[in-house]
Amino acid sequence: MTGSRAPRLSVATILNPRSVAVVGASEDLRKFGSRVLKNTIHGGFAGRIIPVNPRREHIFGLPAVASVDRLANPVDVAVIAVPRTAVRDTITQCAAIGVGCCVIITAGFSEIDAAGADLQEELVQIARRAGMRLIGPNCLGLLNTHARLLLNSSPAMTVTPFHTGAIAHLSQSGALMATTYNRGVEDQARFSTAVSLGNQADLELCDFIEYLAGDSHTRVITLYVEGFKDPQRFVEAVRRCRSAGKPVLMVKAGTTEVGARVTRSHTASLASTQRVLEAVCREEGVLLLDDMRGMMQSAEVFARFGVPAGDGICVISGSGGAGALCADRLAERSLRLASFSIDTREKLETLFEPSQLGNPLDMGALREKSFTHVGDGGLAIAAADPDVSAVLVPITTGPMLGEFARAMVESIRATGKPALFVVIQGSADDGAREILKQEGMLVFETLDEAFRVLECWMAASMFPAAVGLPERPPGLPEKPVNHELPLLPTEHEVKTLVARYGIATVHEQLAGNADDAAAAAQKVGYPVALKASCRSLVHKSDVGGVFLNLEDEQALRAAWDQITQRLGPDLESCLICRMEPADAEMILGISHDPDFGPMVLFGLGGLVAEIVDDVVLTPAPVDPQRVLALLQTLKLWPLLNGARGRQKLDTDAVCNMISRLSWLGDDLRDMLLELDLNPVMVRRQGEGAVAVDARATLKTASQNINTGLSSARSD
């Protein structure tokens, strides 16, 4: 393999090419190449379009060339839709004549087997040597509405109405991309660009996100992702979008164990756990959704209205029942019904039975029952209320719906506020659906869809502000210094390590026999805990290697005898620890995610943590202020914060401890697989917090950081 050449074309030019060739073009619409050519012509692309086929002079009326090497001038983009066996030669020819980028539709490469992966790698090498980029293989192509370029193989292109727009979409599934585009446009979503990424042999997700962050046509970016090729680059790329004020929405497949198994077989991508992904997205301001259609509907709201000004929602419905159901479903999603001002209420009372006046507004409670005069159902008054940031209008069957719809459109336009109309019925809509769509209103077919959009849209206002890297707190060890940490450190070794990072640990001493233990206990003070210490023993309590609350020397010696009996020659020594009273027990931990690196974890600890999952994860390092904000999202928070007349606990100490632990995780990086402090006993305000138990598993023995263990061993 020889070296790479600088790419001939930027992503911007690939998506805005001057000329495209379709290799494997035909008029048989069962074939990929035929559909790519047809779509490209159908889209109205203004550049050159050259079909390549050895057996035809014209295809769909365009003059064809017989083979790639007969192309008179170099083309910017060549779509490759030839049988798998012919792909290598075709790519070689394209590289030779100076094609800028090949979009390889053909499948059967890394997604199938090792031989396919080898062949794919060979294609990449051929391309790189020539400075040619690749999209795919195993992809469907791309589209750029602003260039009128529908360069893809989907039958959906010819039936989907053509519109330009501000939503970009990047997808690891070709079929989903086309499906989502078709349904999206019919749902009123308007696209700028869409790319089917395929196996991402060369150009990958992040290349396109980086481009879109600067693309003037794109205001919101939507992703369908099965796995990240370069997770760190992904984080950098979405930060660029955030700086550019462009929301990033993502559907991630493989969020469950079952789903992850499927995506592995689908595109051979490895998945981080869902929790890690959620933590990264939360911190980086990426909105996660669980449905493609919902993502596009939400994206269109961002494209039209930006981020919401407030979180108050007004519901107006012709059915009290539909209003009640909306109130329930909104409350379940922690979405807030707006509170009308006194002024608004007074105005509404001229229209409604006062006893039935509220939000949701029930048009069944209008004083005028027979609808001989049709108004807007109070929409103009309600929507103008300062606490209303979005209006949800579920439309049920009833008389005069068409006229209602027209009046509502006029009212909502006057306020300039976002309105989501849901036409719940089918044909019995008196034309309202069509009227609303013609007027450019956002119309949904089910309440769930509108709820999901509102949830996603409102979530955008709750992201933490983007912040720089936290500052390394004073007093932390400098790195790197030469010291060794064993793969499976003992509890005492882990505690010694974290203590070097300024984390308080329980008073304790190691002892090799009963007399030493008694002396140690005298020193740390009764009551004490006695814990077996041996490198191979992770879950000490499961084998009877832990005695708690030993009150005096007699109890300690009795426990010592039992531990030595139970563990026999496995026992190396024992740890004598002071018992710490708990006002609250927490777990603090670090785990290393293969994609996103060190993550710090914290939450409810102790015995109950085994059955109750109340922890939060966030990328390391993290500063104490952000820890505090995350701590407040836990169920544990009221206990820490002194609920029900209890003493407030030392949350400052906890936040500092977690931040320091996160720096340890950042220092050790992928040397560390996981480290747990559990329980950490949290004392009252001003009295600190102390780690009582600790364990860790390393991936490789550390040799390059100052763990402080040598000094610890000598004490």
Q: What residues from 344 to 373 belong to the interface with its own copies (CB under 8 A)?
A: 353, 355-356, 358, 360, 362, 364, 369-372
Determine the Cα–Cα distance for residues 283 and 267; give it in Å rounded to an integer.
Answer: 27
Stretch that binds its own copies, among 236-244, 328-336, 467-475, 559-567 (CB under 8 A): 328-336
Identity of the residue, 131 or 398, whose beta carbon is nearer to its own copies in the bound complex: 398
Among 54, 471, 645, 714, binds its own copies (CB under 8 A): 645
Q: Which is nearer to its own copies, 70 or 261 (CB)?
A: 261
Distance CA 43, CA 143 (A): 9
Separation CA 211–CA 192 (nearest Å): 13
Piece of the chain touching its own copies by CB under 8 A; list 6-14, 24-32, 454-462, 509-517: 24-32
3-class secondary structure per residue, 528-545: EEEEEECCCCCCHHHHCC
* Choice between 76 and 430, CB closer to its own copies: 430
Give the binding-site size for its own copies (rule: CB under 8 A).
Answer: 109
One of 4, 5, 18, 29 touching its own copies (CB under 8 A): 29
Angle between helices 320-332 and 447-459 (to 10 degrees): 40
Q: Which is nearer to its own copies, 106 or 659 (CB)?
A: 106
> In the window 84-143, what residues touch its own copies (CB under 8 A)?
107-108, 111-113
Query: Which is closer to its own copies, CB of 194 or CB of 664?
Result: 194
How far from 326 is each of 206, 361, 411, 497, CA to CA, in Å? 39, 11, 22, 53
Instruction: Name the minimum Å distance from CB 553 to its own copies.
Output: 18
Judged by CB under 8 A, which stretch of 25-33, 59-67, 482-490, 509-517 contacts its own copies?
25-33
Residues 6+ away with beta carbon under 8 Å from 430: 399, 400, 401, 402
Residues written for the chain: 715
Toward its own copies, which CB reaches closer, 450 or 506?
450
SS3 labels along 133-174:
EEECCCCCEEEEHHHCECCECCCHHHHCCCCCCCEEEEECCH
Residues 74-93 interacting with its own copies (rule: CB under 8 A): none
Question: Cβ of residue 450: shortest distance to its own copies, in angstroms?
Answer: 12
Binding mask 439-468 for its own copies (x = CB under 8 A): ------xxxxx-------------------
Among 62, 117, 244, 325, binds its own copies (CB under 8 A): 325
Cis peptide before 598, with omega less than 30 degrees from 0? no
Taking the least distance from each CB to its own copies, the nearer of 604 and 709 is 604
Taking the C-alpha atoms of residue 20 and residue 33, their distance in angstroms, rounded to an integer, is 13
Could you tell me if 98 and 41 are in contact, meaning their C-beta atoms sit under 8 angstroms apart? Answer: no
- The interface with its own copies within residues 408-437 (CB under 8 A) comprises 424-428, 430
Indicate the residue type of 452.
R
Q: How far is the CB of 506 from its own copies (least distance, A)?
A: 20
Pick the stretch among 185-193, 455-463, 475-483, 593-601 that binds its own copies (CB under 8 A).
185-193
Nearer to its own copies, 641 or 710 (CB): 641
User: How many Å apart are CA 30 and CA 35, to the nearest integer?
Assistant: 8
At residue 217, the 3 state secondary structure works out as coil
Q: Which of 8, 48, 183, 437 binds its own copies (CB under 8 A)?
A: 183
Backbone φ/ψ region at 632: left (φ over 0), alpha (ψ -120 to 50), beta: alpha
Give the SS3 label for residue 696: strand
Q: Work out the angle between the directed axes of helices 205-214 and 231-243 (0-180°, nearest 10).
A: 10
**Residue 550 belongs to what H/E stretch?**
strand 546-550
Task: Write down the least CB distance from residue 269 to its own copies, Å.
Answer: 10
Minimum Å gap between C-beta 416 and its own copies is 27
Residue 165 binds to its own copies (criterion: CB under 8 A): no
| Residue showing tokens 């001493």 | 509
What token pair was written down for 439?
């007027």
Convert residues 516-555 into a mask of x (bound to its own copies by CB under 8 A) and - (unbound). -----------------------x--xx------------
In angstroms, rounded to a whole number, what is the distance separating the alpha carbons of residues 312 and 434? Answer: 28
Compose the 231-270 pattern: x for residues touching its own copies by CB under 8 A, - for all others.
--------------------x-xxxxxxx-xxx-xxx---
